[in-house]
């Protein structure tokens, strides 16, 4: 299922099985992108209610069940509108609990806690409609009416009714959401595991373009996000975090993890690699649909007929980007194999070459005309009389924006690398990268030019976070804002 992204990014829910009665404010510092594309510190402060305290893992359980109800409403009606109604029995069923008076009371308490707990955003909460981070104080729910209470029209409520706050409603309808494996979440038993799952989804997604995606988080930052005590000794850190991380490994959300000293020696850092159940946008979309996506099946069949094993082809397609032009890459692969077969340097392993193109999302050269592009140009040339013509023009514009982004990416990261590394250090890193690539694609026998290009690409990907380069989504948002401003003037 998909849940609103903001609430899962700054530790709104404290991992605890019992009520957190402290009235102390909980403040979390995170890094966000400002409108100029630069990274900046932002803060979120959770303001507890005197009666209910800070929201806990039990509240997160109910919030996710509520998000499932909201998602079903959007699928059914096409849009989410206030108020959202549900019965307590419906929520208990989603939580896997039996109907009881205690369960009904807990849901009533949860509704009040979500309405009365404040969030003071100092540039943390993102409004998808306005396309900016807000500085304001607000709540998650603006109003609730529980069963039996009086509705605004004077009638008696036959179920629980929730009025989502404006920012929640806006972001959900704008699809500013995060995919969550709800079955995996419900299988978790430890509070820290439940708190980590949505955070890892965000972190792994940000690192998804790297060839060997992994994330590193400072232990001090993690303690702040989770509101847990910070320990000085490695053995105690592993004692507290280890059971929850191993639970995530068992569920294949995390492949492996390790706690290391930071380079400056002043802190520890948690290093993790995503497991098989990490949800890319494409994987989430395919899992949500009752039948397989036709485009996915077409690309799968195309790879299989070119000698790629079905299981491997399916895996790399599930891990591909949402908007990755896989069929274009396959056509480019066909042409490149044919060209190289006429030279003295033919591609020794054609099926492996297709795996290399798709798995590494190798850009198709701008001058290479694919079947898709030619059809889009034909449709767009008809003018704006038809919806399909407008869609074709938009898709071509997205292709052009993608080429511009790749040029921006290479230009900015190369500038950063040459500023921070001496030439001999860069060459040493490239040699190390080439060694790893040769091992990973041992059966492919990549030519030197392809090996060099891939080594540079991986080096760039590994330093994106440090260099403060805009992600593709952020770049698109910035371009849209620039376009809106120019149109306004």
Q: Cα(149)–Cα(83) distance, rounded to whole angstroms?
A: 14
Number of domains in the chain: 2
State how far the Cα of 207 lies from the Cα of 201, in Å rounded to an integer. 10
- pLDDT score for 488: 41
Asked if residue 153 and residue 33 are part of one domain, the reply reads: yes
Residues 99 and 205 in one domain: no
Which band of pLDDT confidence, cut at 50, 70 and 90, is reported for residue 234?
Answer: very high
pLDDT tens digits for 390-426?
777 777 887 888 888 888 888 888 888 888 888 888 8
> Can you give the pLDDT at residue 485?
33
Q: Are residues 170 and 187 in the same domain?
A: no
pLDDT tier at 124, thresholds 50, 70, 90 = confident
Instruction: Tell me, yes or no, whether 78 and 145 share the same domain.
Output: yes
Q: Is 411 part of a structural domain of the chain? A: no
CB proximity list for 306: less than 8 A, separation 6 or greater? 330, 333, 350, 351, 354
Structure confidence by residue, pLDDT tens digits, 448-471: 766 777 788 777 777 766 677 777
Q: Provide the 10 A C-beta neighbour count for residue 395.
A: 18
- Computed over every residue of the chain, the mean pLDDT equals 82
Same domain, 3 and 40: yes
In terms of domains, do 44 and 169 share one?
A: yes
Residue 410 lies inside a defined structural domain of this protein: no
Is pLDDT larger for residue 278 or for residue 100? 100
CA–CA distance, 316 with 359 (Å, rounded to integer): 6
> Three-class SS of residue 484?
helix
pLDDT tens-digit readout, 54-104: 889 999 999 999 999 998 888 778 789 999 999 999 999 999 888 898 999
Task: Find tokens 């069923």 and name the residue.
Answer: 93
Residue 55 lies in a domain: yes
Tens digits of residue pLDDT in 309-330:
888 888 788 777 767 889 899 9
pLDDT score for 8: 82
> Is the residue at 456 inside a domain?
no
- Does the pLDDT of residue 477 top 50, yes or no? yes
Q: Are residues 233 and 87 in the same domain?
A: no
Mark which of 231, 255, 279 sits at the end of a domain.
279
**Is 16 inside a domain boundary?**
yes
The CATH number that applies at residue 214 is: 1.10.10.10
* Structural domain ending residue among the three candidates 147, 179, 211: 179
What's the pLDDT tens digit per position in 14-59?
888 776 665 577 887 776 655 555 566 788 888 888 788 888 999 9
Q: Are residues 189 and 235 in the same domain?
A: yes
pLDDT at 178: 83
Rounded mean pLDDT of 151-159? 91
Pair 144, 194 in one domain: no
Model confidence band, residue 286 (pLDDT cutoffs 50, 70, 90)? low
pLDDT interval class at 133 (50, 70, 90): confident
The pTM for the full model equals: 0.64
pLDDT above 90 covers a percentage of the chain that reads 24
The pair of structure tokens assigned to 16 is: 């605890």
Question: According to the model, what pLDDT value does residue 66 have?
Answer: 95
Question: Within this chain, do residues 186 and 165 fall inside the same structural domain, yes or no?
Answer: no
> How far apart (Å, rounded) are the C-alpha atoms in residues 67 and 61?
10
Question: Do 126 and 14 belong to one domain?
Answer: yes
Is residue 356 helix, strand or coil? helix
Instruction: Please say whether the beta carbons of 318 and 324 come within 8 A.
Output: no
DSSP, residue by residue, 216-261: EEEHHHHHHHHT----SSHHHHHHHHHHHHHHHHHTTSEEEEEEEE
Q: What's residue 383's pLDDT? A: 63
As a whole number of angstroms, the distance between CA 23 and CA 16 comes to: 15
Confidence of residue 289 (pLDDT cuts 50, 70, 90): low
189 in any annotated domain: yes
**Same domain membership, residue 128 and residue 214:** no
What band does 236 get if pLDDT is binned at 50, 70 and 90? Answer: very high
3-state secondary structure string across 1-37: CEEECHHHCCCCCECCCCCECCCCCEEEEEEEECCCC
Instruction: List all residues 6 or more positions away from 375 whose beta carbon is below 8 Å from its beta carbon.
Output: 392
The answer as to whether 47 is a domain residue is yes
Residue 70 inside a domain? The answer is: yes
For the stretch 333-362, pLDDT in tens is 999 889 888 887 788 788 888 988 888 788
Report the percent of the chain where pLDDT is more than 70. Answer: 85
Domain end: 256, 279, 302, which one?
Answer: 279
Q: What are the structure tokens assigned to 36, written together?
A: 């100029």
Looking at the predicted structure, is the pLDDT value of residue 367 above 50? yes
Tell me how far the alpha carbon of residue 483 is from its chain's centroid: 25
Q: What is the DSSP letter of 308?
A: -
pLDDT of residue 483 exceeding 50: no
What's residue 291's pLDDT?
A: 46
38 to 77, 288, 402, 467, 469: CA distances (angstroms): 39, 35, 20, 10, 8
Q: Which residue has the tokens 């000698």?
A: 307
Q: Print the domain residue range for 49.
A: 1-179
Distance CA 326, CA 257 (A): 31
Confidence of residue 290 (pLDDT cuts 50, 70, 90): very low
């Amino acid at each position: 299922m998909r849940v609103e992204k903001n609430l899962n990014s700054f530790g709104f829910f404290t991992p605890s099985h019992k009520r957190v009665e402290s009235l102390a404010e909980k403040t979390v510092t995170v890094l966000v992108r400002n409108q100029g594309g630069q990274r900046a510190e932002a803060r979120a402060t959770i303001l507890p209610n005197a009666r209910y305290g800070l929201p806990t893992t039990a509240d997160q359980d109910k919030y996710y069940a509520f998000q499932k109800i909201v998602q079903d409403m959007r699928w059914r009606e096409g849009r989410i509108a206030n108020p959202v109604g549900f019965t307590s029995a419906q929520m208990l069923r989603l939580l896997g609990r039996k109907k009881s008076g205690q369960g009904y009371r807990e849901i009533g308490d949860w509704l009040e806690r979500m309405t009365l707990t404040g969030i003071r955003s100092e540039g943390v909460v993102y409004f998808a409609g306005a396309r900016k981070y807000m500085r304001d104080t607000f709540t998650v729910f603006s109003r609730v009416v529980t069963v039996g209470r009086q509705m605004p029209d004077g009638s008696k409520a036959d179920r629980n009714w929730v009025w989502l706050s404006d920012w929640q409603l806006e972001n959900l309808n704008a699809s500013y959401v995060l995919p969550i494996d709800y079955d995996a979440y419900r299988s978790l038993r430890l509070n820290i595991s439940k708190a980590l799952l949505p955070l890892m989804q965000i972190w792994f997604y940000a690192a998804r373009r790297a060839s060997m995606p992994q994330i590193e988080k400072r232990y001090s930052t993690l303690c702040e996000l989770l509101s847990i005590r910070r320990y000085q000794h490695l053995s105690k850190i592993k004692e507290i975090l280890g059971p929850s991380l191993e639970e995530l490994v068992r569920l294949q959300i995390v492949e492996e993890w390790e706690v290391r000293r930071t380079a400056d020696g002043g802190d520890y850092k948690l290093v993790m690699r995503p497991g098989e159940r990490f949800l890319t946008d494409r994987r989430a979309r395919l899992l949500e649909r009752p039948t397989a996506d036709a485009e996915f099946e077409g690309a799968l069949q195309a790879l299989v007929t070119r000698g790629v094993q079905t299981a491997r082809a399916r895996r790399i397609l599930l891990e591909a980007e949402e908007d990755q032009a896989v069929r274009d890459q396959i056509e480019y692969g066909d042409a490149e194999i044919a060209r190289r077969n006429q030279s003295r340097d033919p591609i020794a392993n054609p099926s492996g070459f297709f795996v290399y193109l798709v798995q590494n999302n190798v850009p198709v050269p701008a001058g290479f005309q694919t079947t898709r592009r030619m059809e889009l140009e034909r449709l767009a040339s008809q003018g704006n009389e038809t919806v399909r013509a407008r869609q074709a023009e938009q898709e071509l514009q997205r292709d052009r924006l993608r080429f511009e982004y790749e040029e921006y990416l290479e230009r900015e990261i190369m500038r950063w690398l040459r500023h921070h590394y001496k030439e001999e250090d860069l060459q040493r890193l490239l040699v190390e990268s080439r060694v790893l690539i040769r091992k990973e694609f041992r059966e492919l026998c990549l030519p030197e030019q392809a090996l060099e290009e891939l080594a540079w690409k991986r080096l760039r990907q590994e330093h994106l976070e440090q260099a403060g380069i805009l992600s593709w989504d952020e770049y698109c948002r910035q371009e849209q804002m620039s376009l809106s401003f120019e149109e306004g003037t």
